[in-house]
A and B are shown apart, each in its own frame.
Chain A
Amino acid sequence: MAKAHVYKRDHINTDEIIPARYLNTDNEAELAKHCMEDLDKDFVAKVKAGDVIVAGDDFGCGSSREHAVWAIRGAKVQTVIAKSFARIFYRNAINCGFYLIESADAVNKIKNGDEIEIDYDAGVIKTKKGKAKIQFLPLPDFALEIIRDGGLLDHIMKTSA
């Protein structure tokens, strides 16, 4: 079971996910201490390993900083479920081997604090209270391959070996 941290906003940007003042490091644990800081300064205190972030459209817009993915992963967040993702953030996540879920319904059907369960293979999110069963389209095969190999660099090493 994972707890959902729901932000009903669209356009949550990389400056909010990890402000530029912390970009002088690429240490994941260090970045995690400031994850979502300019959006919700209590996030780091609230989040537990395996939790999930749920948001609206265009999540991760703004800069190309992969630090945004690292900060979220460093905070031990399992996945981000959003209505849609900004292009570079989406690509970075796949390249890092971090699974993202695109779902038009999740942000409306999941309430902040809900316990949810995700079946990645079947493409289903279940809320614990059993009320909602939300379908999503699993990532395309090429992205799954990269994720399965542990990220783009490992994937390249494997496929070019």
Chain B
Amino acid sequence: MGMTITEKILARAAGVDRVVPGQLVDAKIDVVMCHDVTTPPAISMLVAKGIDRVFDPDKIVVTPDHFQPAKDVQSAELHKRLDVWARRHNIKHYYKLGRAGVCHALLPEQGHIRPGEVIVGGDSHTCTYGAFAAFSTGIGSTDLAAAIATGVLWFKVPASMKFVLSGALPQGVYSKDVILAVIGRVGTDGALYRAMEFVGPALADMSMEARMTMTNMAIEAGAKNGIIPFDEMTKSYLREHLKESVEYTVFESDADAAYIATEEFDCSKLEPMVALPHLPSKAVPIDQCAGQAMDQAYLGSCTNGRIEDFRVAAQIMKGKQVAIRTLIVPSTPEVWKQASDEGLFEVFYNAGCVISAPTCGACLGGFMGVLAAGEKCVSTTNRNFVGRMGSPKSEVYLASPATAAASAIEGKLADPRKYL
């Protein structure tokens, strides 16, 4: 019996020839991602136990993002703890304000993600990096502390589920719509503890950014990791973004690898999707919810805060006015600069949007656009739980950047296809 990519990567990291789902392994970690919410507690745990070391200062990437720039005194204290620690241990890849960005957008962009590696981060959407044929998963602070100190973590090898994506995406339909449709079908725990492996011809036309939008949301189906096979698209992205150690190992699933389930999606039949409150799985085609009045549109986050997302939004907003509060939040300084250079900010400014510094901000109800009781927000983020973006009585509608832009113009959920 063959192995899946996920199994092969974990076997390599555990130093064994093969692994099977359910098996416990101690895997070597290649990259540890640290941000400002879950890392300071991990640091405190290590200090409390007298463990004053990091396994490898070159393999830890630090970027404050959730409450960056500091939203209040308490978050400033978190940033300070992170800063003191990162300096003390000579963390090589430490992104400070001005270069820091939303972690899952920043790490691939800055060349920290390589195929075949095991990447962990103190954040549930760490599964994003699976778009590069890597095994990556989110962990909590204790795991993070252990990973920082030892470079090794225990894992239970997940069974893999295969998602076969065929057919070309129609005009106005994006990878965000695909992943919302996938989660809508399997449910928020449909892939619990499993690896979601995306394959099929529809991927060939998707940029790495578009692919990351899908693996980003694997956790919203309960998955341990999302993963996409390596191809020419991956290769050319890496050629552009890897700065040092440009070597990597490509693993592929064997033809006779075992999958616990296979789901097929004909992407050519998909429509723009919206996930209604309060679960990402409550996905419906736009025509079932169009017209629902909104109070705010939010374009940003690790899911859809990349340059191509803002290009689409600008294309739709050009020469038009937004009818509701609309926030543009580039996910990294580089995205910010590029959007500025391409003249997208001018479009957004003229349309009446506000443009923010790179931050997680209101995606998690932190700051910079939180919602009041009773307010509704169409958002390009990944999670619409009760209270996610502010008041427990507010509502979040998840959609693609195109749908969010069209909805911003109309002040209600709107089909982007009429603007394209």
Q: Taking beta carbons and an 8 Å cutoff, which residues of A are in contact with B?
A: 11, 13, 15-16, 19-21, 23-26, 38-39, 57-58, 61-67, 69, 84, 86-88, 91-92, 95-96, 142, 151-154, 156-157, 160
Is chain B's interface secondary structure helix, strand, loop, or mixed overall? loop
The residues of A that contact B51 with a CB separation of less than 8 Å are 153, 157
User: In the bound complex, do residue A153 and residue B146 qualify as a contact, i.e. CB atoms below 8 Å apart?
Assistant: yes
Report Cα–Cα, A156/B46, bound state, in Å.
12
The residues of B that contact A88 with a CB separation of less than 8 Å are 124, 138-140, 219
Interface-side segment among B68-76, B164-172, B306-314, B342-350: B68-76
User: In the bound complex, do residue A21 and residue B38 qualify as a contact, i.e. CB atoms below 8 Å apart?
Assistant: no
Residue of A nearest to B67 (CB): A24
The residues of B that contact A24 with a CB separation of less than 8 Å are 67, 71-72, 74-75, 77-78
Q: With A92-B142, A95-B142 known to touch, is A64 a contact of B38 (CB < 8 Å)?
A: yes
- Chain B nearest CB from A44 CB (Å) reads 15
B279 at the interface (CB under 8 A from A): yes
Q: Taking beta carbons and an 8 Å cutoff, which residues of B are in contact with A?
A: 24, 37-38, 40-41, 44-46, 49, 51, 66-67, 71-72, 74-75, 77-78, 122-124, 126, 138-143, 145-146, 149-150, 154, 188-189, 192-193, 219, 222, 224, 279, 364-366, 370, 383, 385-388, 392
Query: Which among A58, A86, A92 is the interface contact of B143 at CB below 8 angstroms?
Result: A92
The residues of B that contact A67 with a CB separation of less than 8 Å are 41
The residues of B that contact A66 with a CB separation of less than 8 Å are 38, 41, 140-142
What are some 11 contacts across the A-B interface (CB < 8 A)? A13-B386, A20-B364, A23-B66, A26-B141, A63-B123, A63-B383, A64-B126, A88-B139, A91-B139, A154-B49, A156-B150
User: In the bound complex, do residue B386 and residue A38 qualify as a contact, i.e. CB atoms below 8 Å apart?
Assistant: yes
- Chain B nearest CB from A149 CB (Å) reads 12
- Chain A nearest CB from B411 CB (Å) reads 27
- Chain A nearest CB from B301 CB (Å) reads 13
User: In the bound complex, do residue A86 and residue B192 qualify as a contact, i.e. CB atoms below 8 Å apart?
Assistant: yes
Point out which of A26, A38, A156 has the most chain B C-beta atoms below 10 A from its C-beta: A26
The residues of B that contact A23 with a CB separation of less than 8 Å are 37, 66, 364, 366
Report Cα–Cα, A84/B188, bound state, in Å.
13
Q: With A20-B364, A58-B189 known to touch, is A15 a contact of B388 (CB < 8 Å)?
A: yes
The residues of B that contact A63 with a CB separation of less than 8 Å are 123-124, 364, 383
The residues of A that contact B188 with a CB separation of less than 8 Å are 11, 58, 61
